[in-house]
Chain A
Amino acid sequence: MHISDYEKIVGKDIIHELKLISNKLKKKKIQCINSTKVGGGVAEILSRLIPLLNDLGIDATWDVITADPDYYNVTKAFHNALHGRKVEITQSMFDKFVSTGEDIAKRTDIYGDIVFVHDPQPIMLVEKKSNSSKWIWRCHVDVSSPYMEVWEFLRRFIEKYNCSVFSSPKFARELEIPQFLVAPSIDPFSEKNRELTPEEIDSVLKKYGIEKEKPIITQVSRFDYLKDPLGVIDAYRLVKKYIDCQLILAGNRAADDPETDIVLQDVMEKKGDDPDIHILLVEPERNDFDVNAIQRASDVVVQKSIKEGFAITITEALWKARPVVASAVGGIPLQISHRYSGILCHTVGGAALGIREVLNNPEYAKRIGRNGKEHIRRNFLSTRHLRDYMLLFLSLDNPEDIVYL
């Protein structure tokens, strides 16, 4: 993809602005470092943004650290601990982190004027920081209520960076270094978000045995009690009293989540023999395309979560101009203005009422869907992410509140 391809989506004016900003970074070498080239949100974002930065004439590169599996077991445990999950952390895990971190630092060539390190795995590279380079630590994890021993351990490395970046104030913790905010984004050309033909959408509906003629209510999320799939079934049943509709609960199996099977079992039990409830375990390799088609085929998309991060599935649904009914938790109110670009709810009854209103009023549904798409276009696409990152790089040499470039 080229930056000019985005003109037809965000407008010439926005692309012109990106070019103006990028001109100020032409002399900088940006080195991004993370722990994987494929899989996961960080790799997905970098694989999109690095070519766009290059296309804007910025010398940005992307390096990946390597380590043995034991190290990744430790960092996985740290990741869960940062999320506040109960995990056993031993002294030998801290020792392993430090010894491998030192080894990674020895093997990794640092050449950037700006070194942009993502997440905890490569965090110890900062020990190689020199006076001539600026270092940024990008945290993609919600560290608002971590297992403190792990946080305090990592903090001594984090505070050696020039600044840090978090996705939301809700995910951050107090630090001695500046903390910038860069919200997540979706890419309009990715497999999960690109336009689909009616034939492509129909092929997915056919594959899962979903009727086209009956209104479709969908929730896309992993099978987790915090996403309240049982509450969604309750809401669907309240709607079903008045409107003959179908419910799709679509998700995939998270390899690191042992709870999935227990939740799925409860969901299947609650579904009973209702043929209009479709529980879809989407194969990972088909996930993006199938989810795209299912979202586009839906008459209303629901996210009745009890707790949420940013809720990127809501961003995706709004981008597809779907009317969305979602709980007012986590990042959802940032994306939805109640009754203007979607409907916010707090209870099963509220969700059911919102769904009925949308299904019974197609014009209203179209209007809020259109507004939602516009909000995402302006605030949550990869072009905005690109702009924020460029400003972040510029801020390292320009810490003032008002900067004339």
Chain B
Amino acid sequence: MSRWTAKAKNPFDFFTSVKLRELTGKKACNLRELTAIIKEVPGSAIYYHTHVFLQKKQRLSPEPPNDFAYWISHVLGEYKLGEELASIDICEFSTIRELRERIITRIESHLFDRKESLRYAPPGREFEFIKAHSFVVPTGFKARSLKEFTMILEKITIHSIYFHIFEARLRLEKGINDFSFWIGTSANAPEVAHKIATLDPYTFTMEGLRRKIINLVADWGNEELKK
């Protein structure tokens, strides 16, 4: 039997994750305040502000997944620093704590080097810190083979793909996305697992990411069937 239809050691259970937003009550109107608050807010706020764009603009353009970068560029007019923050490669980090440290370091070194006085956000355009509560729900979909896996990927919500690719790796600190882990360890296809693990998911739209993963697995399946 080909690995495409072979029964996996363990089935893959699809979960979905939906978010409820909560205000933290913290607001920043300049870079010093911003860094001070970034240091103290819960990880769920850092996670929210570095990932909210992904789920909101799921079918539209790929967006810089970073509210801090957007605010620094478009409200404070500090475009260079904004771009530096937008270009932080979140895939490099396996915990929110590390990501938080990198953001703080970038802003603090910018503040250290700058000669001009601090810029202030106009009233009403302060940075409002929000945190996300994630509710993780089993979808009831279970894949027992890679063939079933691609069929389910076609019909689950974007929120489910988001959970297994982004949230599981970084917020739940699993170090690897759930799809790659299962494909590599249970479905016996480490080469596909590696391809998914080395995707650059933050630069896709969510629908684009769904198609990319389906195509990667299905193309591999077609090759397997020819063997």
Binding site for B on A (CB under 8 A): 12-14, 16-17, 20-21, 24, 166, 169-170, 172, 174-175, 178-182, 337, 340-341, 371, 374-375, 378-379, 387-388, 391-392, 394-395, 398, 400-405
In the docked arrangement, what's the CA distance between A403 and B133, Å?
7
Which among A175, A340, A391 has the greatest number of chain B C-beta atoms within 10 A?
Answer: A391
Q: Is B131 close to A, CB under 8 A?
A: yes
In the docked arrangement, what's the CA distance between A20 and B141, Å?
12
A20 engages B137 (CB within 8 Å): yes
B134 engages A403 (CB within 8 Å): yes
B136 engages A401 (CB within 8 Å): no
In the docked arrangement, what's the CA distance between A395 and B16, Å?
17
Q: Which A residues are CB-close (under 8 A) to B56? A: 378-379
Q: Is B23 close to A, CB under 8 A?
A: yes
Q: Which A residues are CB-close (under 8 A) to B22? A: 178-181
A16 engages B139 (CB within 8 Å): yes
In the docked arrangement, what's the CA distance between A17 and B18, Å?
9
Known: A20-B16, A169-B23, A403-B133; 19 extra A-B contacts, CB below 8 A, are A13-B157, A16-B157, A21-B18, A21-B135, A21-B137, A169-B130, A170-B124, A180-B20, A180-B21, A180-B22, A181-B21, A181-B23, A340-B61, A378-B56, A391-B19, A394-B135, A401-B134, A402-B44, A404-B136
Supply 7 A–B pairs (Cβ within 8 Å), ascending by A.
A337-B61, A374-B60, A388-B20, A391-B18, A401-B132, A403-B134, A403-B135
A402 engages B136 (CB within 8 Å): yes
In the docked arrangement, what's the CA distance between A391 and B23, Å?
15
Q: Which B residues are CB-close (under 8 A) to A388? A: 20
**Smallest beta-carbon distance A366→chain B, Å:** 15
Q: Which A residues are CB-close (under 8 A) to B63? A: 337
Q: A17-B159, A391-B18 are in contact. Are A371 and B25 (CB under 8 A)?
A: no
Q: Which A residues are CB-close (under 8 A) to B115? A: none
Produce 1/0 per residue, B43-67, CB < 8 A to A: 1100000000000111111010000
Q: Is B172 close to A, CB under 8 A?
A: yes
Please provide the 9 A-B residue pairs with the shortest distance between their CB atoms, ordered closest to farther: A169-B128, A391-B20, A401-B44, A181-B21, A13-B157, A179-B23, A405-B137, A20-B137, A403-B135
Q: A16-B139, A172-B23, A337-B57 are in contact. Are A400 and B133 (CB under 8 A)?
A: yes
A391 engages B133 (CB within 8 Å): yes
In the docked arrangement, what's the CA distance between A269 and B135, Å?
56
B42 engages A401 (CB within 8 Å): yes
Q: Is B171 close to A, CB under 8 A?
A: yes
Q: A178-B22, A180-B22 are in contact. Are A401 and B131 (CB under 8 A)?
A: yes
Q: Is B197 close to A, CB under 8 A?
A: no
A14 engages B20 (CB within 8 Å): no
Q: Which A residues are CB-close (under 8 A) to B124? A: 170
Q: Which B residues are CB-close (under 8 A) to A391? A: 18-20, 133, 135
In the docked arrangement, what's the CA distance between A160 and B182, Å?
47
B172 engages A402 (CB within 8 Å): yes
A401 engages B139 (CB within 8 Å): no
In the docked arrangement, what's the CA distance between A401 and B18, Å?
12
In the docked arrangement, what's the CA distance between A387 and B130, Å?
19
**Smallest beta-carbon distance A85→chain B, Å:** 18
Closest chain A residue to B129, Cβ basis: A169
Closest chain B residue to A13, Cβ basis: B157
B57 engages A13 (CB within 8 Å): no
Closest chain B residue to A179, Cβ basis: B23
Q: Which B residues are CB-close (under 8 A) to A394? A: 135
A395 engages B156 (CB within 8 Å): no
In the docked arrangement, what's the CA distance between A13 and B63, Å?
24
Q: Which B residues are CB-close (under 8 A) to A374? A: 59-60
B172 engages A341 (CB within 8 Å): no
A387 engages B133 (CB within 8 Å): no
Q: Which B residues are CB-close (under 8 A) to A340? A: 60-61
Closest chain B residue to A11, Cβ basis: B157
Q: Which B residues are CB-close (under 8 A) to A405? A: 135-137
In the docked arrangement, what's the CA distance between A181 and B130, Å?
9
**Smallest beta-carbon distance B97→chain A, Å:** 14
Within 8 A of A (CB), among B10-40: 16, 18-23, 25
**Smallest beta-carbon distance B2→chain A, Å:** 29
A392 engages B155 (CB within 8 Å): no
B134 engages A402 (CB within 8 Å): yes
In the docked arrangement, what's the CA distance between A180 and B48, Å?
14
Q: Which A residues are CB-close (under 8 A) to B42? A: 401
A13 engages B156 (CB within 8 Å): yes
Produce 1/0 per residue, B64-87, CB < 8 A to A: 000000000000000000000000
In the docked arrangement, what's the CA distance between A313 and B43, Å?
36
B134 engages A395 (CB within 8 Å): no
Within 8 A of A (CB), among B145-163: 155-159
Closest chain A residue to B44, Cβ basis: A401
**Smallest beta-carbon distance B163→chain A, Å:** 11
Q: Which A residues are CB-close (under 8 A) to B128? A: 169-170
In the docked arrangement, what's the CA distance between A341 and B19, Å?
24
Q: Which A residues are CB-close (under 8 A) to B60? A: 337, 340-341, 371, 374-375
